[in-house]
Structure formats: C-alpha cells, structure tokens
A and B are shown apart, each in its own frame.
Chain A
C-alpha cells in the first residue's frame, strides 16, 4: 500500500514539474550549503589532526608574544635568545629543546627573484621528531651541522609555481647575496608556509643576516612520563624569572601542542557552527516553501480529495498521501542538494589546490553526513507537509466534491 502511495505522490509532483522544481530549490540550496560546509570543515579538521600528528602530542612551543602585526615588534625584549634556550633545557621534564630561526628574505634562482621564508636550523632540530612525515627530504639529502652554504628547499620550489624554472638538485640559490647549493628537496607537507620555505644551517643564517643571538621559536620535547602541561608551567615560571617579567605581562608564549590543537579546534567549531547555522536558516525557509506548495496543492486538488474519499479513501489515506508527497519534495531536494554540496566542496578543493597549492580545503566525504542530510531533508519535507496534509484529510467529502 505504501508503495502505491509513493507512486501516487511522485505522479503528482511530476504533474507540476516547474512548481516542484522551484520548491526543491529552497531545500537543495540549504542542503548543499550544509553538506558542502560540513565536508570541507571535516577535511580541514582531518588536515589539522594530521599536521599535529607530525608535531606530536609531547611538544611544547615557546614563541615571542605577538604584539601587533608580525614583524612590527622591535623591542629587544620581544625576542627569544640562546640564554632562554639554556633556561628551558634546564627545566625538569624537558627531554630536548631546540631553537629555530625564521626570517623572510630575498632569494634569487637563475635570475629570478622571490621573497620566501628562510628557516635556520640545526641537526638537533630533526631529532625532536620521531616522524618527520613529509618534512623528510625526498630528493637529495638533509642538512648537517657541517654544511655551511647548502640549502634544502621546500616542495613547491621544485614542483610548485614559485619559480618559472623549478629548482633542481645542485642548482645555486642566492640568499641575501650569498650563494647556496641545493642539496635536498622536501616532500609535500601541504601548508604553503612549509612548502614555500627553504632551510639552511642556523649559524649560516645568523651570519648572513647579522643576527647576534635570536631564536624565533623554541620547540621542546617532553620527557616520557612527564605531563607536557605541567612542564610548560614550569618553563613559563623559569623563563619569567630569568627574563625578569611579571606574571601576566610575559613577552613570550608557552603552548603545548595539545593546547594548540584545542585552540584550532575551538575556533574551527565556532566558525563551522555559525556557517551551518546560516545554512539551517535557509533550510527553514525551504521548509516553509514546501508548506506553501502543499497548501496550494490541497486547494487545487480539493475536488480530487473529495473524489478519493467518495471512492473509499480514509482520512489517514489522504494524510499519508500528502505527507509522502511533501516528504518526497524534501528528499529529492536533499538528493540534489547532497550532489550539489559535494560538487561545490570538490570544486572548492580543486580551486584551492590550484591557487593556494594547499590541501587545507579538502572535501572529506563522510557517508554519515550524506545519509544524515538525506534523512534530514525527508524529515523537513514531511514536517512541512503536516499542516497542509491535515487540512486535506479533514475536508468533508460532500464539501470537497462541490468545490470548484
């Protein structure tokens, strides 16, 4: 019996093709937005988790406090020094601590000029990570402390569009008028910062930029059995003492990788919540659209309803018939919406891939989201149909048949 009702409902929707389509637009825009945003959001979350897996949960990151736009902080106090690094290394629970210098600089390759980030690092830096992931060199070899004018370039230098003629092993790259030989190329990490950067030995970077004593970032590996958060508190206390700073007025930040992840996730949840909320409003409007269509349909088909009652349809039959019809409107809107949403997310991923070269926007297709969206759209359709369907079911057959 239900199968027959689905057939009848579908038949009626086909009868008013244009109106059915217009009504479905209301739903599928909303569903497309929700599905698109959630799958992109899911992709972003996957990406963040992946990046943090490389970093590892046992890390503590110490950076100068960011006041104002990056690069504008010139106060001497706002940098970290090798003295700070020594203080950190001395804290109980710190297994290893290494500093890294990050500077943007003018770089030349085969007469082409670019400004890229240059990372100055020691051999020890790599020992912080059990798993370098794609930071690993995929062509050539990694820097050692014995190298002086050697450079390892990020993935985009060799395979991206930074240079017209991509960098190759044994090419010469000039950084601030000093020549460096390319000895390695890193794998694709996926964020433009790392993929566009180049790495040279820390001492060499200090020398060519005339840096006396500075660390842009100190990364700490916590000893096994110690809680990174407790260790971070100790580090903060010790640094405060050695730098002569008062509590809450520190010029540095100590963050555990877990906290960093949480911060990202919280921001991310809020943004996604807002976006999905907006999409939900459009679904509500879509639902009202279905209700409107169904009311019109009840009015138009009053006589038909009377006829069906005369030939033996119960009120519940009429109710079911109209509910199925509005449910189908919702469901079909949902199907189109899901397809559209996935396509949009995939398109966003593709475009982002071309222009940013980044998998930050990656559409993650979770079957649960798809099934959920379809079920949700069917429910919206059905709920929107409840009032019109009740009105149809309650029509008195004699009145309905007389209706012109």
Chain B
C-alpha cells in the first residue's frame, strides 16, 4: 500500500438509482482527492447528488461504478462488518437532523459509538463528558435530546462524531435546521476542529457556511463543476 496523505479518493465514481426501470445518475463520474487535514465544502442545490456522494465517502453505500478509497482502502472490497469497523474508526458523522437517539441523554448519545467500539464504561463516560464540556454543554450532560435546543443538539451530535477520535468529520447539511446565529457557531466549531488537524468534509447548500472551508467543490447533476 502506498503511504501518502490521501485520506479520501474517488476514482471515476458513479452511482445510479433505478426508478421505474429508468437509471438515474445521482453521481456521475466523479474524481476527487481529499488530503488529511483538509477542510472541504461540497456545495450544490438539492438533488445535485450531494447526499449520495456523502454516503459514498462515508462508506455507507457502495458505488455502482468506480472506486472509493478511504485511507487507501477500497471500500468495495470490504464486507459489512469491515465497513462498520472502518466507519467507526475513521469517520465521524454529523447529520442535518442531528439523528440523536431520543431515549438517551446527551452523555449517553456521545457514549454510543464508544460502546460499539468496545471502550470500557468508565473511560467512555469520562471521554464523553470531556467532549461535551468542550462543546460548552457541561450543564446539559444528562438532558434528553428533546430538552435541548437545536444548536445544543447539533453540538451533542458533533461531540458524538468525535467520540472515537476519527480522522474525518463528515457533516451533511449540519446547519440546515439552525438559525443564523447557531449556524455561525457551528461553522466556527468546524473551523476549530480543522485547526486541530481533523479532516472536515462539509456538505451544504449554504454558501455562508461553505465560506469557512478552505476548498470548495460545486456539484451539479452529479458532476463536479467547479
């Protein structure tokens, strides 16, 4: 295996969906390399293939054609357990709708990825509390998601994404459900994470937020146009 600092590489990647017998090209022949430590924004209107690309980069889905490399591993060659392991170790997900588990408190939500990773209970509790404190949520540790504001929820979900200390943070419209003040807050948080060496991939249609990124790719009809 080549030792380089390419954390994500997409080579001639296509993803088709079949709707009523007709193939829809959600992602059409994309080539992209993201290096360790990059802060990349992928922008485009809805339906441009952003989310599909995001799923491919995050090893949540496999390409119809072409290859996706995550830390130089071709995800096509892995089985489901290996994919799960790869996601767990390499990637932290942040979703537009936060996707917190509604029955678990903030600290339990942050602990969840560590449960799957087999971290022992004391260590994960300590680590979850530190992560939430860093997000300014020390007073919200034992609150359920529905007791938190939108901005607070997104900060919990960022803390959760950081739980297993992944190299890449993959955020899909992380500010889509937030007002402009919270938007700014979250965007700055990503900037801060980037400074600390995390690779950030921000998928958004919000150009304000995308401005914080160092590189920008524009997606249209499944292709990178800029």
- Which residues of A does B touch, CB under 8 Å? 1, 4, 8, 11-12, 14-15, 303-304, 306-317, 396-398, 401-402
Q: Which residue of B lies closest to A4 (CB)?
A: B115
From B99, B115, B116, B118, contact of A304 by CB (8 A):
B99
Q: Using Cβ atoms and an 8 Å threshold, which residues of chain A touch B88?
A: 311-312
B116 touches A311 (CB 8 A): yes
A401 touches B60 (CB 8 A): yes
Q: Using Cβ atoms and an 8 Å threshold, which residues of chain B touch A401?
A: 55, 60, 95, 99
Q: Give residues of chain B (102-157) contacting chain A, Cβ–Cβ below 8 Å.
A: 102-104, 112-113, 115-118, 121
Q: Which residue of A lies closest to B117 (CB)?
A: A312
- Interface code B45-57, partner A: CB below 8 Å = 1, 0 otherwise? 0000001000100
Min CB gap B81→A, angstroms? 5
Q: Using Cβ atoms and an 8 Å threshold, which residues of chain A touch B103?
A: 11-12, 14-15
Q: Using Cβ atoms and an 8 Å threshold, which residues of chain A touch B175?
A: none
B192 within 8 A of A: no
> Which residue, of B84, B104, B113, B160, has the highest number of chain A Cβ atoms within 10 A?
B84
Q: Using Cβ atoms and an 8 Å threshold, which residues of chain B touch A4?
A: 115, 121
Min CB gap A402→B, angstroms? 8
Q: Using Cβ atoms and an 8 Å threshold, which residues of chain B touch A311?
A: 87-88, 92-93, 112-113, 116, 160-161, 163
Q: Which residue of B lies closest to A307 (CB)?
A: B99
Q: Using Cβ atoms and an 8 Å threshold, which residues of chain A touch B84?
A: 309, 312-315, 317
Interface residues on B, range: 20 to 34
- Which residues of B does A touch, CB under 8 Å? 51, 55, 58, 60-61, 80-81, 84-85, 87-89, 92-93, 95, 99, 101-104, 112-113, 115-118, 121, 160-161, 163-164
Min CB gap A281→B, angstroms? 34
**Mostly helix, strand, loop or mixed at chain A's interface?**
helix
Min CB gap A14→B, angstroms? 7
B115 touches A307 (CB 8 A): no
A314 touches B80 (CB 8 A): yes
Q: List 24 A-B contacts (CB under 8 A).
A: A4-B115, A11-B103, A11-B104, A15-B103, A307-B93, A307-B95, A309-B60, A309-B84, A309-B87, A310-B87, A311-B87, A311-B112, A312-B85, A312-B89, A312-B117, A313-B84, A313-B116, A314-B116, A315-B81, A396-B61, A398-B55, A398-B60, A401-B99, A402-B51
